[in-house]
Homo-oligomer: A and B are copies of this chain.
Amino acid sequence: MTPAAQLTAVMKTLADPTRRAVFERIAAEGEVAATGLVRGSKVSQPAISQHLRALRDAGLVTERREGRHIRYRVAPGGLAPLVDWLGHYERFWRERFENLEKLLKESD
Q: Which residues of A line the B interface, CB within 8 A?
A: 4, 8, 11-12, 14-17, 20, 27, 74, 76-80, 82-84, 86-87, 89-90, 92-93, 96-97, 100, 104
Contacts and interface: CB of A to CB of B under 8 A. Distances in A.
Contacts of A17: 4, 8
Q: How many copies does the complex hold?
A: 2
15 contacts: A8-B20, A11-B11, A27-B89, A74-B89, A74-B92, A76-B92, A79-B86, A79-B93, A80-B96, A82-B86, A83-B97, A83-B100, A86-B86, A87-B97, A90-B104
Contacts of A4: 17
A75 B88 CA distance: 15
B84 A82 contact: no
